[in-house]
């Protein structure tokens, strides 16, 4: 990994992980609910989405502190989606990031409600943010961005398409739709939110949106590959779950060599869009390489 990116990710991950629980400490809510929410927030992970938002701010020469509330809100949405994905009615996973999944500890009902609470609280967090003196217009744009990314036209719609695609052979177009929406849209909202906070113009914001869409697809194709040839100890959950659940993946449709060629193609497209933006490209360029080359 690029040294600058490694240092940036390490520093921002520490900041994010220290900050995330502080939002929940002030909640006047049942302790079991708060414990369940914190359990999954504390489970770690790469913190890719908040880090991308903060990296976007940094690349525009803006202080990362200005985006910390929004970055943590997006990580809460991502965490909610993982809690629900792991449920018996969904992917039925017992392990997540090397720990028992939320419902294995707190039961299905509390896990569902913890996910609901993280999702709804994330919007309260954005609306009430005092970081960076965000204007009401910026907050409204960000709320609209992440709501669409996580709703029926975004992550939830992608999840339904994923469920309906089990036990049948998908076309590459159908699989790409699932990957774009199930994974890519929330990741895109992080980068676009960073651009909004940075005050980027419309042209730069739209180029970053296109960059982020390619990056999101790149991320999910790599996940497909790691589910086949990854190390379960590094990934934090068993490999082969896509095969066991009869899911179509890029390796199953294109073969492993074909999937790896797609990685290179989307990495190239992502960088083409990135270099059209008026910013320092080095950090996000290295981020793109990291997503493509990661081993977990």
Q: Above 70 in pLDDT, residue 232? A: no
Give the Cα separation of 156 and 16 in Å (integer): 25
The DSSP call for residue 180 is I
Fold of 3-293: Farnesyl Diphosphate Synthase (1.10.600)
Alpha helices in the chain (DSSP H): 3-25, 31-41, 48-59, 68-85, 102-127, 136-150, 155-164, 172-179, 185-198, 202-229, 232-235, 241-244, 250-274, 282-293
Kind and range of the H or E run holding 100: strand 99-100
Per-chain mean pLDDT for the chain: 93
pLDDT band at 234 (very low <50, low <70, confident <90, very high): low
Q: What is the pLDDT of residues 208-230, one digit of tens each?
A: 999 999 999 999 999 999 999 86
Q: What is the pLDDT of residues 102-150, one digit of tens each?
A: 999 999 999 999 999 999 999 999 999 987 789 999 999 999 999 999 9
Alpha-carbon distances, residue 261 vs 221, 248, 253 (angstroms): 10, 17, 13
Token look-up 């981020």 returns 287
pLDDT of residue 236: 53
Q: Whole-prediction pTM value?
A: 0.94
Domain layout of the chain by residue ranges? 3-293
Give the Cα separation of 3 and 256 in Å (integer): 29
Judge residue 177's burial from the number of C-beta atoms within 10 Å of its C-beta, 0-12 exposed, 13-18 middle, 19 or more buried. middle
Q: Above 60 in pLDDT, residue 239? A: no
Q: Are 254 and 172 in contact (CB under 8 A)?
A: yes
In three-state secondary structure terms, 134 is: coil
Q: Which two tokens stand for residue 51?
A: 């880090």
Alpha-carbon distances, residue 68 vs 187, 249, 280 (angstroms): 15, 34, 20
CA 207 to chain CA centroid, Å, is 19
Q: Are 59 and 284 in contact (CB under 8 A)?
A: yes
């Amino acid at each position: 990994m690029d040294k600058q990116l490694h240092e940036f990710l390490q520093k921002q991950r520490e900041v994010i992980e220290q900050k995330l629980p502080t939002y929940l400490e002030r909640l006047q809510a049942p302790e079991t609910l708060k414990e369940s929410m914190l359990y999954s927030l504390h489970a770690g992970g790469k913190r890719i989405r908040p880090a991308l938002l903060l990296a976007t701010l940094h690349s525009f020469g803006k202080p990362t502190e200005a985006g910390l509330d929004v970055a943590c809100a997006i990580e809460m949405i991502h965490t909610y989606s993982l809690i629900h994905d792991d449920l018996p009615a969904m992917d039925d996973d017992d392990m997540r990031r090397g720990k028992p999944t939320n419902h294995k500890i707190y039961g299905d009902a509390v896990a569902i409600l913890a996910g609901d609470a993280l999702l709804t609280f994330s919007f309260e967090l954005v609306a009430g943010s005092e970081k960076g003196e965000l204007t009401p217009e910026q907050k409204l744009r960000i709320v609209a961005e992440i709501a669409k990314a996580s709703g029926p036209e975004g992550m939830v719609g992608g999840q339904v398409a994923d469920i309906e695609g089990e036990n049948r052979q998908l076309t590459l177009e159908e699989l790409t739709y699932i990957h774009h929406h199930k994974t890519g849209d929330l990741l895109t909202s992080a980068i676009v939110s960073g651009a909004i906070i940075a005050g980027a113009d419309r042209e730069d914001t739209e180029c970053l949106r296109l960059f982020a869409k390619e990056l999101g697809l790149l991320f999910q194709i790599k996940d497909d590959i790691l589910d086949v040839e990854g190390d379960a100890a590094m990934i934090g959950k068993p490999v082969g779950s896509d095969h066991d659940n009869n899911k179509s993946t890029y390796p199953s449709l294109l073969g492993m060599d074909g999937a790896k060629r797609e990685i290179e193609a989307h990495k190239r497209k992502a960088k083409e869009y990135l270099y059209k933006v008026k910013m320092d490209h080095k950090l996000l360029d290295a981020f793109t390489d990291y997503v493509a080359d990661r081993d977990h």
